[in-house]
Amino acid sequence: MKNILFVASEGVPFVKTGGLADVVGSLPKCIDKKYFDVRVILPKYACIKQELKDKMEYVTHFYMDFHWKNEYVGVMKAEVEGVKYYFIDDEMYFGGPTVYGNDPLYEIERYAYFCKAALSVLPVIDFHPDLIHCHDWQTGLIPVYLKERFAGGEFYRGIKTVMTIHNLKFQGKWSVKAVMDITGLPGYYFTSDKLEAYKDANLLKGGLVYADAITTVSATYAQEIRTSFYGEGLDGLLNARAGDLRGIVNGIDTDDFNPETDKYLKYPYNAINFRKEKVKNKKALQEELGLDVNEKTMMIGLVSRLTDQKGFDLIAYVMDELCQDDVQIVVLGTGEEQYENMFRHFDWKYSGRVSANIYYSDELSHKIYGSCDAFLMPSLFEPCGLSQLMALRYGTVPIVRETGGLKDTVEPYNEYENKGTGFSFVNYNAHEMLATIRYAEHVYYDNKREWNKIIDRGMAADFSWQASAAKYQEMYMWLCPDYDAK
């Protein structure tokens, strides 16, 4: 039996701001409990819902030397779906109204405290991990502290670390002097081959230098971040560590996203009866959103943050041309003002064919997945992406740009070999995107049999967490070679 500890700044069901929380909440449940004891440490934020706080029980508290003072460390625990969670409790650092704040230096201080507390608590809860799985910059100091002040302790001997990059854009950067003062790390650690990058201290870089292995959330993104375009200034380091870097695509919760049991769908369906049943959801959504009710019109969905990263500058460039085609476009999301207003304008200009829903609704997102014929995701970069996985699950054919997780999860349609689960284009170019959408329209209108086969293949693909968990287990076994699977 191997002990695995997840340390992260957020995790479902307790706290969520993005996809990181889904990974931290879903993956431990799917790791094989015969061979691994997986536990999770999170901060105990004041903004966690009260009913979830009520599940926590007090374990102990102690005081820890941090940032020139004795700092309180409270320890709480809870068990959810067979996974033990521990919470680091300190109202000074985690008592705010939101998960993350706006002061970057204070964020570094909070998560430096969290990293040190997470390591200090292990003997107290009597859990010796063989491996600590760290997530994003907020936990970047754990591999560093393990090599520094915790290295001498008998309890900490032999602990391996994995650093997972969910989004390389966020790195935890500030001046060397301030970070040295907060962390208590000596100057030896703040050189260009360790925590220093471009004259600043960089917490994520520290984690990437000292971790035993590095993962990110898709195989293509693992390749892309080794280039200067996607590397966010760390491509040199990631190339140097290429042998320890691997990409494992995220999964989705196949119970939450299941067209057969989805409570938001008026007409549930599955891979066998979607030809008859799915179209009923389409007509219901057309009615609900005030679109022209016509089951034959191709309906394209978008559920997204409306930002440049998601490719909305491409859509803006060709939206008028696209609206000349026999298609309907349903948009759900919020983001940059220019894109919110663009979709409002086209909703007004092409009333009955474009529906702009500039807000977020879980219910409407499920209806879009369960009603549309195609789903558009022309991202500039996409570490993993989950929307395309949900679209495949619901038999809504993805049209994507070949980047990151989109390239790894959507196989482009090949009419000569009868292969593919969606449509894709390579270059970040608006007319290349438009040509790909029009190719999809052609198959939809002129070769319905082939279109339905694309749906069959997409709905049969396995993007459950079980498939991802098997790959993580393989990595844990590789890192802990004395693994005994008897």
Let me know if residue 299 belongs to a domain: yes
Co-location of 455 and 471 in the same domain: no
* Residue 188 domain flag: yes
Confirm whether 472 is domain-assigned: yes
How many domains does the structure of the chain reveal? 2
What order do you get walking across the sheet with 36-43 strand by strand?
57-66, 69-80, 83-89, 36-43, 2-7, 131-135, 160-165, 213-216, 245-247
The pLDDT assigned to 17 comes to 87
458 and 470 belong to one structural domain: no
Q: Domain check: are 37 and 175 in the same one?
A: yes
What's the domain range around 382?
274-462
47: in domain:
yes
One domain, residues 295 and 212: no
100's tokens: 């993350």
Which residues touch 368 (CB under 8 Å, ≥6 apart)? 285, 301, 303, 330, 332, 375, 396
The enclosing H or E element of 157 equals none
**Nearest of 116, 39, 111 to residue 73 by alpha carbon:** 116
Instruction: Tell me: do 325 and 407 sit in the same domain.
Output: yes
**Interacting residues of 180 by C-beta distance below 8 A, sequence separation 6+:** 186, 187, 190, 201
pLDDT at site 436: 98
- Claim to verify: residue 124 and residue 238 sit in the same structural domain: yes
Return phi, psi of residue 73, to 5°. -130, 110
Question: Which among 269, 478, 230 has a CA at the least distance from the CA of 367?
Answer: 269
Q: Is residue 267 part of a domain?
A: no
Whether pTM > 0.85 for this model: the answer is yes
In a domain, 8, yes or no: yes
CATH assignment of the domain containing 221: 3.40.50.2000
Hey, what amino acid is at 196?
E
Strands (E), 81-172: 83-89, 131-135, 160-165
Tell me what pLDDT residue 485 has: 44
14 backbone dihedrals φ, ψ, rounded to 5°: -80, -45
Per-residue pLDDT at 486: 37
Say if 438 falls within a structural domain: yes
Cα separation of the two ends of the chain = 9
Q: What distance in Å separates the CA atoms of residue 361 and residue 333, rounded to the nearest whole number?
A: 8
pLDDT tens series, the chain, 486 aa: 999 999 999 999 999 988 899 899 999 999 999 999 999 999 999 999 999 999 999 999 999 999 999 999 999 999 999 999 999 999 999 999 999 999 999 999 999 999 999 999 999 999 999 999 999 999 999 999 999 989 888 899 999 999 999 999 999 999 999 999 999 999 999 999 999 999 999 999 999 999 999 999 999 999 999 999 999 999 999 999 999 999 999 999 888 899 999 999 999 999 999 999 999 999 999 999 999 999 999 999 999 999 999 999 999 999 999 999 999 999 999 999 999 999 999 999 999 999 999 999 999 999 999 999 999 999 999 999 999 999 999 999 999 999 999 999 999 999 999 999 999 999 999 999 999 999 999 999 999 999 999 999 999 999 999 999 999 999 999 999 874 443
Same domain for 156 and 48, yes or no, is yes
Mean pLDDT, the chain, integer: 95
In this structure, are 300 and 211 located in the same domain? no
Same domain, 242 and 290: no
- 238-242-247 Cα angle (round to 5): 90
471 shares a domain with 452: no
User: Token digits for 343?
Assistant: 């979709």
Specify whether the CB–CB gap between 196 and 176 falls below 8 A. Answer: yes
Q: Are residues 59 and 183 in the same domain?
A: yes
Provide the pLDDT for residue 218.
95
Asked if residue 260 is part of any domain, the answer here is no
Q: Which residues fall within 8 angstroms of residue 419, CB to CB, at 6 or more apart?
A: 411, 413, 457
**195-246 pLDDT tens trace:** 999 999 999 999 999 999 999 999 999 999 999 999 999 999 999 999 999 9
DSSP annotation of 256 = T
Are 67 and 215 found together in one domain? yes
